Amino acid sequence: MPADSPDTPVIEIRDLHKCYGPLEVLKGVDLVAPRGHVVSLIGSSGSGKSTLLRCCNLLEDSQQGEVRFEGEAVRWKGQGLERHPADRAQVTRIRTNLSMVFQQFNLWAHLTILQNVMEAPVTVLKRDPKEVEERARHYLAKVGIAEKADAWPAQLSGGQQQRAAIARALCMEPRALLFDEPTSALDPELEQEVVRVIKALADEGRTMLLVTHDMKLAADCSDHVIFLHQGLVEEEGPPATLFGNPQSERLRGFLSATAA
């Protein structure tokens, strides 16, 4: 399929193996994120969800298998510590287009919220600051914190900081958003404000990969859910099937444990 076809998946992973020393964390995982779809990754702690997400935007390398971004194969070269993606321009392109939202927000403490949102488009992508500021303010309004533009991160609640981190990811105008447990660091009442933003983005038809412990969030926003167990896809499918009629004993056990 040509890379510019609308049917080309934004992310496609085939038979991915990832080891940390002797520990094989991913043991041959496939994942396809078609344009406009939300794919959620669920599974027990240590099953490899975050590692898989990090392999998508080259924060981690892999030992075997293939990662494709919009049909373009990502190549690595070298051995061990020398191993690196072959093409630096490709890394920038992929990291820019697969914007990540982390569990711990990772805002710069010495920059205001507006400056945080503007930072990468201006310094990395060399976009016009005036145009970026307009976009940044638009996205801050979209996540409901327009009035916090001039505040410092420490002056915001956790939920507001996470919404600022989402505005920062959006301001890169990425092809897909990668969420790594975006609500796990939040108190339950603050969690809901972030959940609302993520659901609104899913309703807009954005392509997203979502690692989450929140089964309700996965059920409500996903087109496809993948249940990982010890580095392998144990079961996957549309949320209604996966949550409504789980087939494997492990998934049934996992769902009843998380519902408890």
**What are the residues binding ligand ATP (CB under 6 A)?**
20, 25, 43, 45-51
Distance CA 89, CA 141 (A): 32
Shortest reach from residue 63's CB to ligand ATP, in Å: 13
Q: Which is nearer to ligand ATP, 50 or 99 (CB)?
A: 50
Distant-in-sequence, close-in-space partners of 188: CB < 8 Å, separation ≥ 6 = none
Q: Which is nearer to ligand ATP, 133 or 214 (CB)?
A: 214
Shortest reach from residue 144's CB to ligand ATP, in Å: 27
Q: Which of 203, 200, 220, 207 is nearest to 143 (CA)?
A: 200
Q: Which is nearer to ligand ATP, 51 or 116 (CB)?
A: 51
Question: Secondary structure of 82-106 in the HEC alphabet?
Answer: HCEECCHHHHHHHHHHEEEECCCCC
Distances from the Cα of 135 to the Cαs of 9, 205, 252, in angstroms? 27, 19, 44
Shortest reach from residue 103's CB to ligand ATP, in Å: 8
Cβ-contact 31, 39 below 8 angstroms? yes
Q: Which is nearer to ligand ATP, 25 or 114 (CB)?
A: 25
Shortest reach from residue 22's CB to ligand ATP, in Å: 10
